[in-house]
A = this chain, B = another copy of it.
Amino acid sequence: MVTTKVEKFLVSGTPNTPCLVVDLDVVSMNYKRFKKAFPGSMIYYAVKANPAPPILKKLAALGSWFDAASVLEVERCLAVGAAPQHISYGNTIKKLDDIAAAYDLGVRLFAFDSENDLQKINVAAPGSKVFCRIMTTNTGAAWPFSDKFGCSPDMAIDLLIDAEKMGLEPYGLSFHVGSQQTNAREWGKALACIALLFNKLRKRGINLDLLNLGGGFPVSYRKDVLEIEVLASSIQKYIAQNFGDRLPTIMFEPGRYIIAEAGLLRSEVVLVSSKSYGAKRRWIYLDVGTYGGLAETMNEAIQYPLRTLMDDSEKGPVIIAGPSCDGADVLYRNAGYELPLTLKAGDFVDILCTGAYTASYASIDFNGLAPLQEYYL
């Protein structure tokens, strides 16, 4: 799972820990694989997954388009040469000034899920294309979006009609099945709902063109998940079933899928201890934790594969925690991790598949611990 390029860097570069090392070739490979799995679709990389300039540059060069969550993310895409017409402002929660700033930068495609946001887009980005996000179930997702985003389908109809009245271009509909989604039927359910909305809106004189299926494509962390080709085949079947020969323009917003596997987070064991005599599990304290970039370990939702340099030796059960003076900074307690019995302070623990949603989550200054160092190879 760890590439030769990364291995060589770890040996020759001897970076200080904790650090994130990303192999851009893997980013490239995953992008191409995703594109091949969904031929003819538009791919907007979800910048929030990892906004590092080398990644954006690599993806821009490969022809990727970009899904931005903020004006700063828009600017970062432009900085690596992305065209503004290839950037979607995908966050449904936007200040008026931010919409205006994105519009000034040339962005003409905006997500929304409420009357309030639509009104602001109309004021600050007149004439732009807009797509409405609908709420769907997130069953099966490791990191669900809950009901924070999207509106009900009947409200979406009214809002898209309003958009047209305002002079905006009602362009399409979007949904998101939740991150790290492993159940193809979640896409199927949403697509059935969306197809109905396309039809209802057509009868009201609005011909949508865009079908945005969002992201959520799963990555093999500790457990292997469905290959992207298998999942893609199911999703394409659902699209064909629901849209027949009236195929809309298909858009995806993968983030995790593109970048997670490309990253390795090297950490050092700070302390190994037992809390009492006869304790069944050792505590392993690493120099990175919940506040240092591993926020997705919350409730042990994302379970990263771990690697040590002594993985052939006998292992025993552990609780794994971060280095801060915060009781909530415990990574894994219930997930059944085991680590070598000989593991000691100063040894490395490599946390794999950490390219997505890590470095940018790190706190600026919690406990006086520095954010992650990042290396892009």
Type the 1/0 row for A222-257, where 1 means its CB is closer than 8 Å to any CB of B.
000000000000000000000000000000000000
A273 at the interface (CB under 8 A from B): yes
A55-113 residues with Cβ-Cβ distance < 8 A to B are 68-73, 76, 90-96, 113
Say whether A148 contacts B364, CB under 8 Å: no
A115 to chain B minimum Cβ distance, whole angstroms, is 7
A273 partner, pick from B95, B143, B151, beta carbons under 8 A: B151
A150 at the interface (CB under 8 A from B): yes
Say whether A276 contacts B144, CB under 8 Å: no
Of A90, A283, A291, A365, most buried by chain B (CB within 10 Å of CB) is A365
Name the residue of chain B whose CB is nearest to the CB of A362: B364
> Given A76-B368, A155-B277, does the pair A148, B321 have CB atoms closer than 8 Å?
yes
A308 at the interface (CB under 8 A from B): no
Copies of this chain:
2
Say whether A72 contacts B271, CB under 8 Å: no
Of A115, A330, A363, A371, most buried by chain B (CB within 10 Å of CB) is A363
A313 at the interface (CB under 8 A from B): no
A145 at the interface (CB under 8 A from B): yes
**Which residues on the B side are within 8 Å of A94 (C-beta)?**
270-271
> Given A94-B270, A116-B272, does the pair A361, B366 have CB atoms closer than 8 Å?
yes
> Given A143-B327, A148-B321, A327-B145, does the pair A135, B72 have CB atoms closer than 8 Å?
no
**11 pairs from A and B in contact (CB 8 Å cutoff):** A93-B321, A94-B271, A117-B273, A143-B327, A146-B330, A147-B275, A149-B325, A151-B276, A154-B276, A155-B275, A360-B367
Say whether B366 contacts A68, CB under 8 Å: no
Say whether A276 contacts B93, CB under 8 Å: no
A126-185 residues with Cβ-Cβ distance < 8 A to B are 135, 138, 143-152, 154-155, 178-179
**Which residues on the B side are within 8 Å of A330 (C-beta)?**
146, 148
Say whether A361 contacts B360, CB under 8 Å: no
> Given A152-B277, A271-B116, does the pair A363, B365 have CB atoms closer than 8 Å?
no
